[in-house]
Amino acid sequence: MNLAVEIENLTFFYPDGNKALDGVSFVIPERSKTVILGHNGAGKSTLLLHLNGLYTASKGRVKIFGKVINEENIREIRKKVGLVFQDPDDQLFASTIFDDVAFGPQNLELDKKEILRRVEEALKAVDMWDLRERPPHHLSLGQKKRAAIAGVLAMEPDIVVLDEPMAYLDPRGQEEITAILNRLNNEGKTVIVSTHDLDWALEWADYVVVLNAGRVVAEGDKSILTNRQLLEQNGLKAPLLVKLFEDFEGKLGIPTSLKEARQILRKFIF
Ligand SMILES: Nc1ncnc2c1ncn2[C@@H]1O[C@H](COP(=O)(O)OP(=O)(O)OP(=O)(O)O)[C@@H](O)[C@H]1O
């Protein structure tokens, strides 16, 4: 298994002395769809901000494709790891969406033609090309989130990290973002998402990391999401499918997707 990310004994203190991460170690497989789960304040955002070097470990280290992030390689790392913030207003600042998405490639000092190619491709990938002349503050939240993703895609990263991309979106907005994430993963990118929506995680993810109070409490394939006791002990709500099927455990087993649930029921009923 090739690894996109390796985190070794990462501890992080905020300037006020608050220890937000406490000896965190885990890996993220390359080309995986990974979810980072944890209740409010578990340390998800703090952790994600380490993945492209925006935060620096107080202790321990973060490796991207086998290389420890340090001052010398930070520019290279930022090309490889794109981070989409939870609040798109923290990310969008230019007077038009086009300029916003062009900002990253311009900083790479690419030629004009290449910048245009990247901006067009990124905006089309999130279905925002037609809105490119709009100022960010004239967009809906779903559109802002897609524009923020385009800004990251224009850097052509191998790893895309998104902090709670579904937060405050309606079902259609969530479906649009999920489709974008799936497409990126199908293109070979590693996609890492923090969330507390375990129903969504059960459908989408193939790798799971659970945090609580700045520590890793579980890591592995998505069978973790069928462990109701572990999830609830760590302040999370087990997926609805898991709650439903555990009543029949022994007879039916516990599915790890809606598709599997249908198969189990079909076999049992017919
Ligand atoms: N700027 C800061 N200064 C001091 N402590 C902070 C700061 N930002 C976050 N924290 C603390 O660090 C811990 C982890 O916070 P973090 O935002 O990483 O959690 P989270 O899992 O992303 O939460 P949420 O689901 O609410 O976004 C919390 O105890 C939080 O209060």
CATH number of the domain residue 171 falls in: 3.40.50.300
Whether residue 55 has its Cβ less than 6 Å from ligand 1: no
45 alpha carbon – ligand 1 mean position (Å)? 7
Relative to the CA of 194, which ligand 1 atom is closest? Answer: 22
Determine if ligand 1 sits within 6 Å of the CB of residue 174. Answer: no
Does 263 reside within a domain? no
Q: Does residue 14 line the site of ligand 1, with CB under 6 A?
A: yes
How far is the centre of ligand 1, averaged over its atoms, from the C-alpha of 105 (Å)?
30
Domain count within the chain: 1
> Looking at the domain assignment, is residue 145 inside a domain?
yes
- Give yes or no for residue 195 CB within 6 A of ligand 1: no
Could you tell me the distance, in angstroms and rounded to a whole number, from the CA of residue 50 to the centre of ligand 1? 13
Confirm whether 246 is domain-assigned.
Answer: no
**Distance from chain centroid for Cα 43:** 14
Determine if ligand 1 sits within 6 Å of the CB of residue 235: no
Ligand 1 centroid to Cα of residue 186, in Å, is 32
136, part of any domain: yes
* 182 belongs to a structural domain: yes
Which atom of ligand 1 is nearest the CA belonging to 42? Answer: 21
Please give the number of the atom of ligand 1 that sits closest to the Cα of 214: 14
Q: Please report whether residue 255 resides in a domain.
A: no
Please state the ipTM of this predicted complex: 0.97
- 50 CB within 6 A, ligand 1: no
Structural domain that includes position 144 = 3-238
Q: Is any ligand 1 atom within 6 A of the Cβ of residue 168? A: no
- Whole-number pLDDT of residue 251: 74
Residues 106, 110: Cα–Cα separation, whole Å? 6
Question: 38 CB under 6 A from ligand 1?
Answer: yes
What are the CA-CA distances from residue 57 to residues 9, 63, 160, 255 (Å)?
A: 9, 12, 20, 38
Instruction: Tell the residue number behind the tokens 């895309």, with chain if given.
Output: 160
Could you count the other beta carbons within 10 Å of the beta carbon of residue 19? Answer: 14
Q: What is the pLDDT of residue 136?
A: 93
Asked, for residue 267, whether it belongs to a domain, the answer is no
| Residue 243 belongs to a domain | no
Q: What is the pLDDT along the chain (270 residues), one digit of tens a residue?
A: 899 999 999 999 999 999 999 999 999 999 999 999 999 999 999 999 999 999 999 999 999 999 999 999 999 999 999 999 999 999 999 999 999 999 999 998 899 999 999 999 999 999 999 999 999 999 999 999 999 999 999 999 999 999 999 988 888 889 989 999 999 999 999 999 999 899 999 999 999 999 999 999 999 999 999 999 999 999 999 999 998 888 776 677 888 888 988 988 888 887
Predicted local confidence at residue 182, as pLDDT: 96
User: Atom 25 of ligand 1 has which residue's CA nearest to it?
Assistant: 40
Q: From ligand 1's centre to the CA of 25, what distance in Å?
A: 18
